[in-house]
Amino acid sequence: MGEVKVPCDKYWGAQTQRSYNNFKIGKEKMPIELIHSYAVLKKACAIANNKLGILEDEKKDAICKVSDEMLSGKLDNNFPLSVFQTGSGTHTNMNVNEVISNRGNELLGDIMLHPNDVVNMSQSSNDTFSTAMRISAVCEIEDKLLPEIDELIITLEGLENENKDVIKIGRTHLQDAVPIKFSQEISGYRFMLKGSKEMLLSSLENLKKLSIGGTAVGTGLNAPDEFDNEVTNILSKLLKKEFYPSHNKFYSMTSFNDLVFAHGALKALAADLMKISNDIRWLASGPRCGLGEISIPENEPGSSIMPGKVNPTQCEAMAMVAVQVISNDVAVGFAASQGNFELNVFMPVCIYNFLQSVRLLTDSIRSFNKNCVSGIKINEQKSLEYLERTLMTATALNPYIGYEKAAKVSKEAFTKGWSLKRAVVELGFLTESEAEIVLDPKKMI
């Protein structure tokens, strides 16, 4: 195709440069998490090829050394390609191959590593890109997202224990309902997170079945026997996670229903985090003219014009992340539906959105926990005030005087501005001592 100029201070080569020149689309670059997963994959492939007797020790060692440099972040500025490139990710595979080749040859002091013949030995872009996608998805969920979920669960457990005796008014339809303990309300949030964690863990099993060894179309052409088993065994040792060869490479190179399923769990987590963050900002609304049942940390000024205003900014950030993740789910699902014959050619946009969701959820949960949830304080006085004013504790009268009379008590109390206890006594349905017992909020939770 003729000559192409490549920057002398970079390790990439002609194929990378052609992609860089031809796809100046947007600011979105290939996620570095994917590049690092490619690094460990190339290392595993080199070790496997060496073990199977088709790659010399010296070349294997050079590939491994450069892969380790990539993993350390030392070479991060050598991966400039747009997400919106070839749908197979071939340009990114060759970007990785060229960087490893040129840096490796620099270390060797000789031209021994050819990007296609040596670094890409026994591989294709089609099976390596889809494998790197799954490796990055597993590592980011297991190593980064799940620990942040666990930390938030611990914080919520602490809030439960601190407020196990505090009773507040429950709410349904944004209207007063019967009493509930703060600890019970918080336990609902905690179980949402536990449920999301369980769904994510269940999704990881399918993601750990890799397409490596399928080469171009799933047949394994140009890959030696047992290459897939060797690579997955090596990856398992390097990453301390159990990876397996896909039993059907024709499936795993054209279908990404495992990523769709896993992102569904990410979407479910986002939906619950939206609910939790919205509840917290409602409960903290005020400080004088809102619900004000809780207070949250005052992290920064909330207005450029209203002095003293403080806003629930961490809740708002979490809610916006949830919107982005739920939107990303559409892109992941749509991209995964675009498998044609033996290949899906929407892989880059699929993994870009997937990894963005994991990254945003990881960061936002950490920020939400540190800057909001860990500093929540319960306003017991306000909670007691609402309990004394609510009419919904009239529900507890039903077994004693029936629904119709209880409704009359509630209406009388509301109309005349009385307490429920006074209304039920004035109407002659219960004695004062009976009303005291029946309308005790502690007996309703």
What pLDDT, on a 0 to 100 scale, did the predictor assign at position 196?
A: 98
Name the pLDDT band for 114 (thresholds 50, 70, 90): very high
CATH 1.10.40.30 boundaries in the chain: 391-444
What pLDDT, on a 0 to 100 scale, did the predictor assign at position 148?
A: 98
What pLDDT, on a 0 to 100 scale, did the predictor assign at position 405?
A: 97
Name the pLDDT band for 170 (thresholds 50, 70, 90): very high
What pLDDT, on a 0 to 100 scale, did the predictor assign at position 21?
A: 98
Name the pLDDT band for 208 (thresholds 50, 70, 90): very high
Domain 391-444 bears CATH identifier 1.10.40.30: yes
256-300 pLDDT per residue, tens: 999 999 999 999 999 999 999 999 999 999 999 999 999 999 999
For 79-135, the three-class secondary structure string (H helix, E strand, C coil) is CCCECCCCCCCHHHHHHHHHHHHHHHHHHHCCCCCCHHHHHCCCCCHHHHHHHHHHH
What pLDDT, on a 0 to 100 scale, did the predictor assign at position 149?
A: 98
Name the pLDDT band for 307 (thresholds 50, 70, 90): very high
**Region class of 15: left (phi > 0), else alpha (psi between -120 and 50), else beta:** alpha
Catalytic residue selected from 173, 247, 304, 433: 173
Catalytic residue selected from 72, 202, 303, 327: 303
For a pLDDT cut of 90, what percent of the chain falls above it? 99
Q: Are 56 and 50 in contact (CB under 8 A)?
A: yes
Query: CA 343, CA 224: separation in Å to the nearest integer?
Result: 21
Contacts of 264 (CB under 8 A, 6+ apart): 199, 203, 329
Residue 161, classified by CB atoms within 10 Å of its CB into exposed (0-12), middle (13-18) or buried (19+), is: exposed
Query: CA 130, CA 200: separation in Å to the nearest integer?
Result: 20
Name the pLDDT band for 59 (thresholds 50, 70, 90): very high
Active site residue 173: yes
Q: Are 358 and 324 in contact (CB under 8 A)?
A: no
Least confident of 24-33, 128-137, 362-371, 384-393: 384-393
What pLDDT, on a 0 to 100 scale, did the predictor assign at position 107?
A: 98
What pLDDT, on a 0 to 100 scale, did the predictor assign at position 229?
A: 98
What pLDDT, on a 0 to 100 scale, did the predictor assign at position 356?
A: 98
Active site residue 303: yes
Least confident of 19-23, 254-258, 386-390: 386-390
pTM of the model: 0.96
CATH 1.20.200.10 boundaries in the chain: 143-202+254-381
Average pLDDT, the chain: 97
67-92 pLDDT per residue, tens: 999 999 999 999 999 999 999 999 99
**Residue 400, helix vs strand vs coil:** helix
337-377 pLDDT per residue, tens: 999 999 999 999 999 999 999 999 999 999 999 999 999 99
CATH architecture of the domain with range 143-202+254-381: Up-down Bundle (1.20)
